[in-house]
Amino acid sequence: MTVILNEGDSAGTAGAASGSPVDAAPEPGKAMTRGRLVLIRFMRNKLALVGLAIIVAMYLLAFLGPLLTQWSYEDRDYTAFLQPPYADHIFGTDKIGTDMFALTMRGLQKSLIIGLLVALISTTVAAIVGAAAGYFLGVADKALMWVVDLLLVLPSFLIIAILSPWFRGKSWWLLVLMLAAFQWMITARIVRGMTLTLKEREFVKAARFMGQPARTIIAKHIVPNMASLLIIDATINVGSAVLAETGLSYFGFGVQSPDVSLGTLIGGNAESATTFPWLFLFPAGFLVVFVLAVNWVGDGLRDALDPTSTRVRKREKKDTKEKAA
């Protein structure tokens, strides 16, 4: 992953980083705020926009979709067993007559919620642990990094699988926490490294010399300056958390019945994939499209937030060539 540092001040003045005497900023009246610049750069990336649209549409569909159909995922239509898609059941039905659309929406809902929560929790933990370790160093750093190393060597899939009988029947929140617990370590290491650099920046020193307590310095100066990394990380994490959850559920270790997720749907219907493809294709298709969209958005965000990204220049070259032609 590209580590983005100092992005705040290099957004407008690309030449200033070379150590030459300070470059004058563009005229104050015309200056572009950083937020707008990022937005413009993001908007330019069509694939990322498509990705973003897909993600928004999927969340809307997952939560509003069940309202569009008369069927609930618990209802059974005893007149239609294993029917391929038709007007009444647009995604078809399974062998006990449940509407596949309602079922898929319910599964999508669960998977997306789990993905979002896991990403938020793991990125928050990574930010706090990494920044604290990097800022305080010494014993705190040693202890926290030891935990990170320990969690990194443990096989997360196996541990969650072993623990799964214990949280069977309990809330799905436990699954969220377990997934989050194994997803923050690498980001924490990156955050720690960035904190080490940021700590030497003069604005952090200035805050220290004016008597600002360490807690406030971390919350006010260090974490916000890593925002771009954390945003990208959280976005990508949603995708990988959904994948992890689906993987676990496929083997029966994740979400437990009667609740459904994309994983349980895919797992339960895998053997019918060739004979009754609608049972398998709809949940699997949603999963693939979602993860793909998340990755597009992640790429787009990285390009937009990373001042060293060359995409802009490439585009300009293309434009001039077109003009010349």
Partner 1 sequence: MTSSEILFDSPADPVVEGPVLQVEDLHVSFPSEAGRVQAVRGLSYQVSPGEVLGIVGESGSGKSVSSLAVMGLLPSSARITGSIKFQGRELIGRTDTELSKIRGRRISMVFQDPLSALTPVYTVGDQIAEAILVHRGGAVSKQAANKRAVELLDLVGIPNAAERAKAFPHEFSGGMRQRAVIAMAITNDPDLIIADEPTTALDVTVQAQVLQLLETAQEVTGAGIVIITHDLGVVAGFADRLMVMYAGRAVETGKVDEIYQQPRMPYTLGLLGSIPRLDVGEKQPLVPITGQPPSLTDLPPGCPFAPRCPMVVDACHTAEPPLIEVDGSAEHHAACIRTGEIAATDAEGAEAAAEIFGAEVVEEAEIAKVPREQRDTVLELDHLVKEYPINKGVVFKRRVGTVHAVAGISFDIREGETLGLVGESGCGKTTTLMEILGLQKPMAGEISVLGTNVSSLDSKRRKAIRRDMSVVFQDPMASLDPRLTINDVIAEPMQVHGYGKDEINRRVPELMRLVGLRPEQLSRYPGEFSGGQRQRIGIARALALEPKLVVLDEPVSALDVSIQAGVINLLEELKAKLGLAYLFVAHDLSVVRHIADRVAVMYLGKIIEIGEVDSVFDAPRHPYTQALLSAIPIPDPVKERQRERILLTGDLPSPANPPSGCRFRTRCFLHASLPPEKQRTCIELEPPREVQAPDHEAACHFAQIRQVL
Three-state SS at 250: helix
Min separation Cβ 215 and partner 1, Å:
12
- Asked if 20 is part of the footprint of partner 1 (rule: CB under 8 A), the reply reads yes
Segment interacting with partner 1 (CB under 8 A) among 121-129, 140-148, 196-204, 241-249: 196-204
- What value does the CA radius of gyration of the chain take, rounded to a whole number of Å? 24
Burial of 120-153, coded b for 16+ CB within 10 Å and e otherwise, reads bbbbebbbbbbbbbbbeeeeebeebbeebeebee
Site for partner 1 in 199-258 (CB under 8 A): 201-203, 205-207, 209-212, 216, 220-221, 224-225, 227
- Asked if 138 is part of the footprint of partner 1 (rule: CB under 8 A), the reply reads no
One-letter amino acid at 11 equals A
CB 208 within 8 Å of CB 77: no
DSSP state of 25: P
Segment interacting with partner 1 (CB under 8 A) among 22-30, 93-101, 139-147, 261-269: 22-30
- Asked if 32 is part of the footprint of partner 1 (rule: CB under 8 A), the reply reads yes
CA distance 126 to 189: 8
Q: Which of 87, 190, 88, 176 minimizes the C-alpha distance to 130? A: 190
- Asked if 196 is part of the footprint of partner 1 (rule: CB under 8 A), the reply reads no
Q: What dihedral angle (degrees, nearest 10) is formed by the CA atoms of 207, 208, 214, 219? A: 20
The residues with which 99 forms a beta bridge, in sequence order, are: 93
- Asked if 45 is part of the footprint of partner 1 (rule: CB under 8 A), the reply reads no
- Asked if 24 is part of the footprint of partner 1 (rule: CB under 8 A), the reply reads yes
> By rule CB under 8 A, what count of residues binds partner 1?
47
Min separation Cβ 29 and partner 1, Å:
10
Site for partner 1 in 294-323 (CB under 8 A): 312-313, 316-317, 320
Q: Which residues of this protein are in contact with partner 1, per CB under 8 A? A: 8-9, 11-13, 15-16, 18-28, 30-34, 37, 40-41, 201-203, 205-207, 209-212, 216, 220-221, 224-225, 227, 312-313, 316-317, 320
